Structure 1
Amino acid sequence: MIINVLLKKGKEKAVLQRHPWVFSGAIEKLKGNPANGDIVRLADIKGQFLAWGFYNDQSRVAVRLLEWDENTAVDDNWFRAKVKQAVDSRAHLLADKTTDTCRLIFSEADYLPGLIVDKYADYLSVQVLTSGMEKRMSVIIDELQKLLNPKGIFDKSDAGARAHEGMEASHGVLAGEAPPELVEVKENGITYGINIAEGQKSGFYCDQRDNRRILAGFAAGKSVLDCFCYTGGFTLNSLHQGAASVTSVDSSALAIDTLKKNIALNNLPADKHRAIQSDVNKQLRAFREARETFDVIVLDPPKYAPSRSALDRAARAYKDLNRLGMLLLNRGGLLATYSCSGAMDMEAFKQVLAWAALDAGKQVQFIYQFCQPEDHPVRSSFPEGEYLKGLLCRVF
C-alpha cells in the first residue's frame, strides 16, 4: 500500500529544487501509518506527487528523498543501480596503483542517504546512518560483493547519527572475513596501517588525500607541527618530502602508536620525528611557554560545529586554536588549517582566521584553499555535503 506524506502549503520549494531533506515541521499530515525506514510518496497539500523517500518519525529529517520520477520504482534494482553508479564513477581511482583506499559511496551526494562506504585495500568499511538504508543493507552488501569482491565488509555504524534515527549502534562483520588488526593501504605511494575495527569513524580519513600531498610540497627542509595528527597522514607525507623535523600531537594513544608503526612501515627517519600524546590546545600552550616555534603548522581538528546552532561556540573554538597556532609560527611560516564542520562555510572560516590574526597580532595571507577530494562529491542540490574546507596561510 502506498503511504502518502503531505507537505504544508508553500513547503514544496526545496523539494522541487531537489534538496533531499524534508524536515518534520514541513509535514501537514500522513495518509497511512509508515514504519521507520519505509518508502513513502511525498506530495503537496493537494496530493500532487513530488518525490519518493525514506520516512522516519524519530528524526528531524522526517523524509529523505530518493527519486523525483513518480513512474520509477524505488525497488531493489533501483538501489543496485545507485551503488553501481557510485562505484563506476570512481573507476579511475580504483585503477590507481599508488592508492588503494577511497570513498566509494558518500551518502546523499551519491543519492543513497545515510550510506557511507570506504575501501581499504581488500576490505570495505560501511556506516549505515538511516533506518531506510538499514532496511536495504542485504541488497547493498550483495551488490558491493558482486562489483568489488572484497575479502570482507565491516560495519562501523556506531556513529551518534544513528541515535537521531532511533537506531542503536552496530559494529561487526557484515560479509566475508574480519579485517586483521592492521590493514595495510597505500595512499599517494605511502603505506598506512589502518585499524578498521577500532579506529575513528570508518577507520581512516581519506578525505584529506589530496591536501596531504599538496601540503607536503611545502615541507622540505622545514620544521613541521602536525596537530590532531591521528595516524599520521600529514606527518608521513612531510617526512617523505624531506621535512627537517616533524612533531605530531594527538590525544589518542592508539593513534600515536599506529603512527609510529606507520613511520617504520615506510622506512621514514624516526630520528626526525617526535610524537606527543596530549590534548592539542594544552600542548600548544606548552610550546608557547617553552618558546618553541615551527615553520609549518597543521591544524586538523574534529568537527566543532555539528549543526548551525553550534556555530557561535565553534567559531570561538576555531579562533582560539588558530590564534595559538599563529603564535607558534616563525615569521613567514605556513599555517594549514582545516574545518570539517559542514555548518561553517569558507567565508565564515576566513572571518574566523581574520579574528585569530587580530588577536595574535599577526598579518595573514591566504595563499591556497583546500577542499574535499573527488570521491567526496558535492551534489548541486545539497550544498551541505561540502563539509571539508581549509586554508593555507602565510603568517607574518
Structure 2
Amino acid sequence: MNKVTLHRGKDKAAWQLHPWVFSGAIAQVHGQVDNGAVVEVFNADDEFIAFGVYNSRSRVAVRLLEWNPQRQIDADWWRDRLRRSVGLRNHLLHADNTTIRLVFAEADFLPGLIVDKYGDFISIQVHSSGTERVKAILVDELVALLSPKGIYERSDLKSREHEGLPDTNGLLYGEMPPAFVDVIENGILYQINIVEGQKSGFYCDQRDNRALTALYAKGQRVLDCFCYSGGFTLNALKQGAAAVTSVDSSALAIDTLLQNMTRNGFDSSEHRAVQSDVNKYLRQLGEAGEKFDLIVLDPPKYAPSRSALEKASRAYKDLNRRGLMLLESGGLLATFSCSGAMDIDTFKQVIAWAALDAGREIQFIRQFNQPEDHPIRASFPEGEYLKGLLVRVV
C-alpha cells in the first residue's frame, strides 16, 4: 500500500474526520504514487490515520475516505458508499418530486462525486482523480440500483483542471437524454436540459426555498431575478401571485422557462419574461419608478474562494441595494448566496449595508438553507454553501 506521512502537528483535522489533507501538511510521500491512487495516511509517530486518494497536482493532496484500518478500499467499498447515499434519499422521490441529488461529494463520503436524478435520467459530475479512476464502477452500481434510461456526464469543471483532469462530457450508459427531460418538483412540471443547461441541468438545491418563498406570493407582484428555468416563478404562480416578472441573461433559460409555463398551464397574461443583465434591468426598473411586493435575488456564485470575498461582498451589496429600492413598504426580499466562502453572518452584514445605502429599514424574518439531499457533514463544514434570507422592508 502507498504511504503518506504528515508533518508533526498537521494531523489534527485528519484525526477529527475532516476529509481534506492539504499539500503543505505532507512531510513525505513514500515511493512513486500515481495520482488518484489509494494511500495510507500516517502521523509523524507512524500511527495510521486513514485511507485516502492522492493527487500531487492538487492543493488538496489527499482526499480521505475511510478511518477504519480494517476496511479495504476496493470496488465493494465504493459500491457500498454509493448504495448508502442513494438509500438515504429514497423517501424524497415520489409523485410530486422526481428530481433529487443522490450524491453530494464529501458530505456523502464520496469525494469529488455529484450525482443528480432527473426523472428517468441521471447526471453525474466527477471532480477528483480518485473518483475518476472508479467511475465505471460507480456507473455500474447506479444502473443496478436505479435502472435509469441513461447516465450523462457533465464534468466540465474548473476543479478538474486543478486535479490534472481534462473536461469530459458525454453519455456513459443507455439512451442519450432528449433535448428536454421531464421532471416534477413540488408538484410542478419542468422540462430541463441536462446536456446544455447550467451545472448538471437544474438547481434542485433550491427546492424547499422555492416552496417557502411562494407562500408569501399570493396576490403579490413578484420579480424573479436570475430566474433560470423558472423555479421561483412557477412556484409563485402556483400559489396565486398576481403578476410575475422573470429576468435572466440567458436566452436558453428564458426559452426553457416559457416552455415550463406552457407545460403547467399558467396564464401568460400574469407573466412577463425578460432577457437582460439583471443589474442593468434593476436600474431600468428604478428609473421607471416600478415597485414590487416580493423580489427574489438568486445570483450565481460571486465568491468562488475566500480571496474573492471582498469583491463579492461589494457585488452582493449593490445587487441587494437595487432590489430593496424597488420594494413597497412591507415588501419582501428573498435573497440568496451560493458562495461557500460567505457565511450567513457575513451575508446578513452585507444585506444590512445594502439597506443602509438604499435608505430602507429592514427586518430579517426567515433564514433559508440547502435541503436534506445536500447534507452538511459535521466534520466538513465547507459543504454548507447555500444560504438565504427573507427580508422585510418596514
Which category of TM-score, normalised to the shorter sequence, fits these structures?
over 0.9
Question: For each residue in 1:289-336, what CA deviation from the matched residue of structure 2 results, as whole angstroms up to 9, or x when unmatched?
Answer: 111111100000001111111111111111111011000111110000
CA distance in 2, matches of 1:268, 1:201: 27
Per the alignment, residue 205 of structure 1 pairs with 203
Tell me if 1:80 matches 2:79.
yes
Tell me if 1:288 matches 2:300.
no
Tell me if 1:338 matches 2:329.
no
CA distance in 2, matches of 1:237, 1:69: 45
Tell me if 1:130 matches 2:89.
no
Per the alignment, residue 107 of structure 1 pairs with 105
CA distance in 2, matches of 1:51, 1:97: 41
CA distance in 2, matches of 1:163, 1:245: 44
Q: CA deviation at 1:345?
A: 0.8
CA distance in 1, matches of 2:326, 2:159: 36
Per the alignment, residue 214 of structure 2 pairs with 216
Tell me if 1:36 matches 2:35.
yes
Q: CA deviation at 1:387?
A: 0.5
CA distance in 2, matches of 1:23, 1:66: 15
Where in structure 2 are the equivalents of 1:1-396 lying within 5 Å?
2-94=1-93, 96-396=94-394
Q: CA deviation at 1:159?
A: 1.5
Runs of 5+ consecutive residues of structure 2 not aligned to the other structure: none
The alignment partner of 2:172 has SS state of: strand
Question: For each residue in 1:344-382, what CA deviation from the matched residue of structure 2 results, as whole angstroms up to 9, or x when unmatched?
Answer: 111111111111111111111010100000000000000
Q: TM-score, normalised by structure 1?
A: 0.99
Question: For each residue in 1:140-159, what CA deviation from the matched residue of structure 2 results, as whole angstroms up to 9, or x when unmatched?
Answer: 00100000000000001111
Q: CA deviation at 1:56?
A: 0.7
Letter in 1 for 2:279: N
Letter in 2 for 1:226: D
CA distance in 2, matches of 1:291, 1:34: 64
Q: CA deviation at 1:46?
A: 2.4
Letter in 1 for 2:46: G
CA distance in 2, matches of 1:166, 1:102: 29
The alignment partner of 2:340 has SS state of: coil
- After the TM superposition, list the runs of 4 or more consecutive aligned residues in structure 1 that deviate by more than 4 angstroms: none
The alignment partner of 2:330 has SS state of: strand
CA distance in 2, matches of 1:341, 1:200: 16
CA distance in 1, matches of 2:361, 2:329: 10
Q: CA deviation at 1:161?
A: 1.3
CA distance in 2, matches of 1:57, 1:240: 51
The alignment partner of 2:216 has SS state of: coil
Question: For each residue in 1:223-247, what CA deviation from the matched residue of structure 2 results, as whole angstroms up to 9, or x when unmatched?
Answer: 0000000000000111111111100
Letter in 2 for 1:394: R
CA distance in 2, matches of 1:181, 1:9: 54
Runs of 5+ consecutive residues of structure 1 not aligned to the other structure: none
Letter in 1 for 2:90: A
Kindly, what percent of the aligned residue pairs are identical?
62
Letter in 2 for 1:302: P
Question: For each residue in 1:8-38, what CA deviation from the matched residue of structure 2 results, as whole angstroms up to 9, or x when unmatched?
Answer: 1100000011000011111111101111111
The alignment partner of 1:146 has SS state of: helix
CA RMSD of aligned residues (A): 0.7
The alignment partner of 1:51 has SS state of: strand
The alignment partner of 2:290 has SS state of: coil
Number of residue pairs matched? 394
Question: For each residue in 1:162-187, what CA deviation from the matched residue of structure 2 results, as whole angstroms up to 9, or x when unmatched?
Answer: 11111111101000110000001000
Letter in 2 for 1:365: Q
Q: TM-score, normalised by structure 2?
A: 0.99
Letter in 2 for 1:97: A
Question: For each residue in 1:237-288, what CA deviation from the matched residue of structure 2 results, as whole angstroms up to 9, or x when unmatched?
Answer: 1111111110001010000000000000000011111111111111111111
CA distance in 2, matches of 1:210, 1:14: 32
CA distance in 2, matches of 1:276, 1:341: 25
CA distance in 2, matches of 1:249, 1:34: 50
CA distance in 1, matches of 2:194, 2:303: 25
CA distance in 1, matches of 2:177, 2:126: 18
Question: For each residue in 1:103-147, what CA deviation from the matched residue of structure 2 results, as whole angstroms up to 9, or x when unmatched?
Answer: 000000000000000000000000001010000011100100000
